[in-house]
Structure formats: structure tokens, C-alpha cells
Amino acid sequence: MGALAWVMMGLALWHFTVFLPDHFWGGIVGAFVGAIIGSILFGVLINGLSVPGRADTDIVTALEAIPGAIIGMGVVYFIGMRKEAAEEEADRAEASTSAIGI
């Protein structure tokens, strides 16, 4: 039951990526995957590598997923930014070599 709370919190936070520039690695789907995986991993780590059962799940269990979802989306965002920068650099290098006739 705790995993369901973590996934739902990650999904809820993922919806706010519509307000950010789309620089995520894999686009909006990449942001979704980052939020879900981040929230689950952080929840499992904070609970001592276990998933709380139905009786142990409360509002705090869902709130535990917030940092993980943000970290997961942040990682995917910065990977996407680096890939875009590398592609732009490669395009610039290709354009400069074709401009001088090489």
C-alpha cells in the first residue's frame, strides 16, 4: 500500500512539469519515468528497504515520496540538458566544417 502512495505522489508531482521547458531526457515520458522511479526508490530507502503495508500507510507515507520524485525528475532534466548541449555543439561543429568546405 505504501508503494501505491509513493507512485500516486510521483504522478501528482509529474503533472507540474507542464510548466517547465521540455528539456527532459525522453520528453514528458522521461519526466514521468523519473518521477515514478525517484519516488519509489526514495520511499524504499527512507523506510529501511521495505514497503509499508496497509496498516502502516498514512499521509506521511505519501509525503515521503516528494523529495524522491523531485530528485528523479531533476536527474532526468539535467541529463536531457546535457544531451541537448552536446547535440548543439555537434551541429555547430558540423556547420563550421561545411562552411569552410571540408
> What pLDDT, in 10s, does the model give residues 42-67?
999 999 999 999 999 999 999 999 99
Q: How far is CA 37 from CA 12, 13, 63, 83, 94, in A?
A: 13, 13, 15, 21, 37
pLDDT of residue 98: 74
> What pLDDT, in 10s, does the model give residues 29-46?
999 999 999 999 999 999
**Residues present in the chain in total:** 102
| Beta carbons of 59 and 5 less than 8 angstroms apart | no
How many secondary structure helices (H) and strands (E) does the chain include?
4, 0
pTM, full prediction: 0.87
